[in-house]
Structure 1
């Protein structure tokens, strides 16, 4: 029989007669217990197994989307939200074609949503309170993507100008959340980048006024601003100096609190608090920004690398500024195989990494819960963009799609980091305006491709508007998943550690697997134009205790006490055992509010150990290394329990 930690009053015949002194001792004891647990200790039920099966290493068509997936993000554990440009999608809402929708991945159902204004080539990211922003876009259009007579709605598509729009959505699971409009931006922004800051606010960088294949001096907006607003926009020298390929500047918040910005060939670190840029060396081998559109990602932040940010760039196009014109055979130009990385907080130099198996433009680099990186989508030749020139493939400026993904292993030796063993191929070309995002069950949701000015589903067109949507199932997918107990719903910046319990089944019958078990956080990001804005992966510090019955407890640290390492807001939490992730749960990082986050000292972790039982009882068979910090050890718990016992015994 299981006894409650807090027995009912009926368990104590004289409970009503307890001396006030004892009552206060009990309160004191339970307060100590609460303090020992630290921050919020509300936990999730153990995650179960994936709701569906899939063939490991393969793609599965799961249906057709209501709108083309130019932009997608995972808003809840069940919901993927789509944002498209205004075009003649067959789904209707409020008397006009829909250009936004919601896909419930569990029941595999969808609903159209009103996108409000034209979100063509907008940027997006999530605020520290969990609200998603979709920022900027294009002017109002009519059939064929032509400018509408009115920029205020009406006409064929009833789409107001979206270039200054800030559209907000707080995701929900009941179908009752919709996009709303906030105040306008200070100026038009088509192709802006959006990054979440350490206080949960947003910085918005770059863009242009009217669009086109690339930017130009007439229409560029080489500034940045903030949401919530901090006043007038601020001019950025790197954006001024990197025309014409300065749209969607590649941007990451660094643990130092600076921002890394990579645009065209140039790279800087931006001290956005003091509005100063510090030049770094040019990126080698290829342009990585749109429309070269390399795959980019910040590699996993782990205890082993002291949560040091390293950014990886793979693919793109080796074109000089004067070559960014649409008067030559762009689709025949080979994309780059080059991969380079930089760790700007510790070194200002780019480092060559293992090249891609084939050149690729418009590749999405997507984190798996294991910390591996899936490279998916894109083309071997050409660039992003479309037009009506004779050289275009239909309208596409790219050709020769890459149908087979490949996986990057950050911890593999140099020369062995890319691998596609056991991976199958898709049958769907994922060209310009494709997207991908990780789902909680560890599969990858893949949709989109539309290098066309309006919906075009002509069967004779090589790259039509694509609604077919797939899941890709990594090799671990059908393995029995760990079902950890004790996953917190909210994780803070520093504070006391928490315990995660794993059964013998979770450890695949070998308690030794606790040694390499990890607890990771993944922000899946806002996917568009070969980027997942805000995507980030962090491994929490942990130690373990293994028990004779084959179970184990992971002792897990809160986040490092620096919100710039991983900005506040929602993220997925996974436990990975023997390369197999638990089904992810959506947790809140930080206090769930905009503004300065509470910082606490990181708690100590007990040393790792596996306990064995023999005829002399339970003993420790081996030790590991505990993490650095401050926390409660067994002596602290003995003291707390002793206080409780004394209070109940009446000795005080």
Structure 2
């Protein structure tokens, strides 16, 4: 249900705790006792694991409170902060600090949150705080940590926009929240969107409604990305929202009538003087799809269904074919349809970008409780990896390999990347991108962003009888508003083909 890649190349994976026992015991005979659990009050099994990508091993982690439909973000020091959930977990903050000795585990802070956070959205901010927006019947936002020197006081802040966008199916849960280069927040709920100055608690402007009037947030569950920010040119901020379900789809699904999902995508250039939605059509309709930024600036849309809505037994027609969207190509040439996976990935599946450029995909549990047999779409606890076209062997001759890198990058300061390419083609086709890995759940990849850094120089060092070496000089991101402090994956991209990513830390 929830996944986050950490900077030690391990993935935190977790589900809800109130489904009964899992098939993985907690270590050392540990158990959790929860008097409010609706299924099993004494539970000695794990509902969270730490998955090691390199070794393909995992170890169980201890969750004491329910994380169903919660949210998360990563602090500048690499600590995962996970907020809210259900029942006894709705006011809880949990943290997980990456470690190399296999001793780290969840640390829980009961009653830390001021409001009940279930289906809320988290976003890291330029000052290192996390803003927690909305949740079921929560028309407000708050911050973690509550008190930071020079920041807002310890309180929650009204956001009536969330009350106004709630309909009878509550199609404003997990609002899409993106930090913009000007420091304000873009918030999208249902079909409407605003620009919020969270420091002053002021709505700076409201944008036009998305042109196709299909709800996009849970349970209609479209997806959204902030398209890549390119520091080589004047900054453009553009949001893309794709998929979802027509109005009434959730209620119809409860009566076993599965309405075809939306096939529309909208792009909104917020940096324009008078922004308006520009609409496109996906090759196939999709609800509960995950949108992720790829290191070369493309967008992948993966998982989901062709009809219905999010929720138990509420979707049909799994969409097995991922789609690659290339934002910079002309209309009509932007969508590429990929080969299918044999596994339906429906409600409570997830996806995220890995260090090597693959997409990790896991889960699917469209039933109340685990149900592995005798149903149309059994619970699926497997992991698989989708390999984007840029990893095809035919591109090996032009694929860069990073040989040396500055692991700490300061805002606005130059830094060097040493790399090689077997067949170097064009200097003008070298770029460096940094990607903030997402906390992904319920078709929403929180906190993800991609910045194309400014190229200052590319030098070639010819090595007789071996692959030529290159050293590129780039400028660090301009401001924390463009790239909040913390850990990013850095990729060298040559003629659209990315290297394997290397972890760097962005700081003042």
TM-score (normalizing by structure 1): 0.70
Q: Distance in 1 between matches of 2:256 and 2:73?
A: 31
Please give the secondary structure, in 2, of the residue aligned with 1:187: coil
Q: Distance in 1 between matches of 2:469 and 2:50?
A: 40
Task: Report what 2:118 is aligned to.
Answer: 190
Please give the secondary structure, in 2, of the residue aligned with 1:354: strand
Larger Rg: 1
The structure showing larger relative contact order (alpha-carbon pairs under 8 Å, at least 6 residues apart) is 1
Task: Report what 2:50 is aligned to.
Answer: 102
Q: Distance in 2 between matches of 1:305 and 1:120?
A: 42
Give a deviation string over 1:13-41, Cα, whole Å, max 9, x none.
xxxxxxxxxxxxxxxxxxxxxxxxxxxxx
Cα distance, 1:360–1:553 mapped onto 2, change above 3 Å = same
Task: Report what 2:442 is aligned to.
Answer: 529
- How far apart are residue 345 of structure 1 and its match? 3.2
Q: Distance in 2 between matches of 1:330 and 1:337?
A: 21
Task: Report what 2:308 is aligned to.
Answer: 382
Instruction: Establish whether residue 280 from structure 1 lines up as the match of residue 197 from structure 2.
Output: no
Q: Distance in 1 between matches of 2:382 and 2:340?
A: 15
Q: Distance in 2 between matches of 1:85 and 1:105?
A: 23
Task: Report what 2:83 is aligned to.
Answer: 135
- Of 270, 273, 281, the match for 1:344: 270
- Of 2, 8, 14, the match for 1:83: 14
Gaps of at least 5 residues in structure 2 are: 32-43, 147-152
Which is richer in strand? 2
- How far apart are residue 173 of structure 1 and its match? 3.3
Give a deviation string over 1:59-99, Cα, whole Å, max 9, x none.
xxxxxxxxxxx000101342111010112321122232211
- Of 446, 462, 466, the match for 2:380: 466
- How far apart are residue 116 of structure 1 and its match? 1.9
Task: Report what 2:104 is aligned to.
Answer: 177
Q: Distance in 1 between matches of 2:84 and 2:343?
A: 29
Q: Distance in 2 between matches of 1:72 and 1:431?
A: 15
Q: Distance in 2 between matches of 1:270 and 1:526?
A: 22
Give the length in aligned residue pairs.
470
Please give the secondary structure, in 1, of the residue aligned with 2:155: coil
Q: How does 1:262-341 map to 2 (within 5 A)?
A: 262-277=188-203, 278-285=205-212, 286-319=214-247, 325=251, 329=255, 332-341=258-267
- Of 12, 25, 30, the match for 1:92: 25
Please give the secondary structure, in 2, of the residue aligned with 1:532: strand
Q: Distance in 1 between matches of 2:335 and 2:423?
A: 31
Gaps of at least 5 residues in structure 1 are: 1-69, 140-160, 209-219, 387-395, 591-597, 599-652
- How far apart are residue 347 of structure 1 and its match? 4.2
Equivalent pair of 2:263/2:285 in contact (CA under 8 Å): yes
Q: Tell me how large the CA RMSD over aligned residues is.
A: 1.8
- Of 161, 165, 177, the match for 1:242: 165
Please give the secondary structure, in 2, of the residue aligned with 1:385: coil
Q: How does 1:185-264 map to 2 (within 5 A)?
A: 185-208=113-136, 220-229=137-146, 230-243=153-166, 244-264=170-190
Task: Report what 1:413 is aligned to.
Answer: 330
Task: Report what 2:291 is aligned to.
Answer: 365
Cα distance, 1:181–1:489 mapped onto 2, change above 3 Å = same
Give a deviation string over 1:299-324, Cα, whole Å, max 9, x none.
1111355332211001111216xx75
Task: Report what 2:405 is aligned to.
Answer: 487
Please give the secondary structure, in 1, of the residue aligned with 2:55: coil
Q: Distance in 1 between matches of 2:55 and 2:442?
A: 28
Equivalent pair of 2:253/2:308 in contact (CA under 8 Å): no
Q: Distance in 1 between matches of 2:365 and 2:257?
A: 15
